[in-house]
Amino acid sequence: MAFTLGGRARRLVSATSVHQNGCLHKLQQIGSDRFQLGEAKAIRLLPRRTNMVQELGIREEFMDLNRETETSYDFLDEMRHRFLKFKRQKYLPEIEKFKALAIAQSPKVMVIGCADSRVCPSYVLGFQPGEAFTIRNVANLVTPVQNGPTETNSALEFAVTTLQVENIIVMGHSNCGGIAALMSHQNHQGQHSSLVERWVMNGKAAKLRTQLASSHLSFDEQCRNCEKVTNSKHLFILRSLIPEADLCVCVCVCVFSCVGVGIYKGFCDEFDNLFMDKR
């Protein structure tokens, strides 16, 4: 059994272990800065990973204590703390998994989600690193290919043709600011509109359909209906973009008020509330 050590480990090898008959034997070089040692010579280094985890834990506790006594918020310090916590609690215990992910990815799912900070697909649906190829934009819109290339369409093409995902989820949510911007946008506005307004008008067909069917409702209720209509229309757009792909495509809307997820099955406009749980 052999261990591969970095260049910093050279000083840990005593001079007596590399001298024989008065001559210094050159260690076999692997790459530019790695050496292979016998098990007997490397045994003293085995506790290193355990020590690293312990050191990170002590450092994290120290930072927690410091933050409790500080009155000002240090954003970079907070990010550093979160990274060290991730490294200690998730990366190091599963280091072999992350080494494999560093070489390649093979996700089975693509998620098209909203950029809203309250609805992170990996957080809500529990995806782990390497499980879901994700793209997010304002109002989680999927645009027809005739509208020109977008980051969503290019990501979709890559996911289907290169990564060969088996499932696509379009994940919307209630109280979406992008949908509210769409519903409040005046159709006669053109070149003077903001980038956000011009972007959300990709959902104009859903807006017109909503206004036609629910003009008697309040603005908030119209927005809720438009969230559903917009997401249901994504199914048809996706099928037109990837007509020959053998994929499971679904649309879901995360509802904040009852912490539930409604699922569209097939090409219907009605929700399947199997994911609803009001506890």
- Residue 132 in tokens: 């879901």
**Does the annotation place 252 within a ligand binding site?**
no
Does 116 show up as a binding residue in the annotation? yes
Composition of the chain by helix, strand, coil, percent to 5:
50, 20, 30
Question: What is the total residue count of the chain?
Answer: 279
State the sign of the Cα–Cα–Cα–Cα dihedral 97, 101, 104, 108: positive
- In sequence order, the 6+-apart residues with CB closer than 8 A to the CB of 110 are 132, 133, 134, 135, 155, 156, 159, 160, 163, 165, 167, 168, 169
**Sign (positive or negative) of CA dihedral 163, 165, 170, 171:** negative
Binding residue per annotation — 234?
no
Q: Tell me if 77 is assigned to a ligand binding site.
A: no
The burial of 210, by beta-carbon neighbours within 10 Å (0-12 exposed, 13-18 middle, 19 or more buried), is given as buried
What is the full DSSP assignment across 24-89? EPPPPEETTTEEEEEHHHHGGGTTHHHHHHHHHHHHHHHHHHHHHH-SS--HHHHHHHHHHHHIII
| CA distances from residue 215 to 188, 199, 247 in whole angstroms, order as listed | 19, 23, 36
- Tell me the binding residues: 114, 116, 173, 176
- Tell me the binding residues for Zn(2+): 114, 116, 173, 176
